[in-house]
Structure 1
Amino acid sequence: MKTLNKMTKSLILGLFVLFSTTLMAQSEQQLEVINDAEDARREIVNQNPELMELFEKAEGYAIFPNVGKGAYILGGAAGNGAVYENGTLVGMAELRQLDIGFQLGGKAFSEAIIFQTDEAFEEFKSGDLKLSSDISVVMVDEGVSGDVEFKNGIAVISMPKAGAMAGLSVGGQKFDYKDL
């Protein structure tokens, strides 16, 4: 009986340690993504100060600070991001992209998705939002600015980081959202 009691206590302690370690690792990873997202937002605004007003007036926005993309005819991209509602951190998200066409190379970029309406933001948080190739993307590069166009309450801003890629493709992005 004492042996069974010790085994039960050991099992409970082991599960507690395992759960705590997993939670801590997840929190550290999330903290890194959040810090990178805040840095990416600052960089986007530093290069184009007029974009600050979009972030301030948005119902919500998601920033994916480190998206990696690679392609050889079939392309894919992925990244993790932080999600803000009225400027307050509310969750985390994953971006997945798949496209096909004449394309070759690899690149890294940051992406901000700005939600002008509550309906668009709620659609994103529900996991139903899929961005297709007809969404206009504003490319932010040092000294270059473009007009931000909202389509169905959504605007996308992309800032190149590194790499080289050439091509013409069609595809879309899918998102998974989780509350903090």
Structure 2
Amino acid sequence: MFRSILSIVFSVFFLLGIASPAIAASNAEINAKSKQALKEFYRHSSAGKQLFQQAKGALIFPEVYKAGFGIGGEYGEGKLVENGRTTGYYSIAAASIGFQLGAQVKTEIILFMTDKALRQFKQSDGWEAGVDGSVAVVTLGAGGEIDTSTIKDPIIGFIFSNKGLMYNLSLEGSKITRK
């Protein structure tokens, strides 16, 4: 079921003309875009750099394309960083059904805060958020800052656009696969 919905979604992406740049990304392109995405992440959240440095590993998806026309989906490519080194390249995909129309590009960063969470991710053959691991998506507090002392989850997710951290979004159902 998931695969058939995903193939319909990719067809929509190709018809809209937005998936081809994402699918064709080389490792060098992913590296350059990921570096820029981290700069934006640090700019939007002063706690971002501290959390990134504390993380055992981080998935960086600099451009996740989302589109929908009744049936929707998203796709992006990124990399896993451990101890400042790239250790693998991954894709993220999700499908959805319901009222939706339009397209957007967003950045997603997933931080693995414990060795166990990172190990379970790396040992999986296609990891699904919400099934293989629960991801706590971080939003800004009332003062516009993140309280790092209250973040105790083993996996933390950030979703943002060029306008800052995005609210009420979820990574649930996103499937992450090694390229």
- Taking structure 1 as the reference length, what is the TM-score of the superposition? 0.68
- Give the aligned partner of residue 71 of structure 1: 68
Which runs of 5 or more residues in structure 1 are unaligned? 1-27
Partner of residue 131, structure 1: 129
Partners of 1:101 and 1:92 lie apart in 2 by: 31
Q: Which structure features the higher share of strand residues?
A: 1
Shift of 1:104: 2.6
How far apart, CA to CA, are the structure 1 residues paired with 2:126 and 2:160?
Answer: 25
Identity fraction in percent: 31
Could you tell me which runs of 5 or more consecutive residues in structure 2 were left unpaired when the two chains were aligned.
1-24
2:80 is equivalent to residue 83 of structure 1 = yes
2:90 aligns to what? 93
Work out whether 1:173 is the aligned partner of 2:174.
yes
User: Matches of residues 90-169 of structure 1 in structure 2 within 5 Å?
Assistant: 90-125=87-122, 126-132=124-130, 135-139=135-139, 144-147=144-147, 149=151, 151=153, 153-161=154-162
CA distance in 2 between partners of 1:60 and 1:86 (Å) = 7
Cα separation, 1, equivalents of 2:39 and 2:170: 30
Q: How far apart are residue 171 of structure 1 and its match?
A: 5.4
For the aligned residue pairs, the C-alpha RMSD in angstroms reads: 2.9
Structure number with larger C-alpha Rg: 1
1:156 partner letter: G
Distance 1:66 1:170 in 2: 14
Secondary structure at the aligned position of 1:172 is classed as coil
Question: Match of 1:173, as an amino acid?
Answer: S
Counterpart position of 1:42: 39
Q: Is the alpha carbon distance of 1:45 and 1:171 closer, same or farther for their aligned partners in structure 2, counting shifts above 3 Å?
A: closer
In structure 2, distance between residues paired with 1:170 and 1:45: 20
How far does residue 169 in structure 1 lie from its aligned partner after superposition? 9.1
The aligned amino acid for 2:175 is: K
Residue 158 of structure 1: how far off its partner (Å): 0.8
* 2:117 match: secondary structure: helix
Tell me by how many angstroms 1:87 deviates.
Answer: 2.2
Question: What letter corresponds to residue 172 of structure 1 in structure 2?
Answer: G
- C-alpha separation in 2, matches of 1:174 and 1:103: 20
Equivalent pair of 1:62/1:82 in contact (CA under 8 Å): yes
- 1-structure distance, mates of 2:171, 2:117: 23
Q: Is the 8 A contact 2:58 2:81 kept in 1?
A: yes
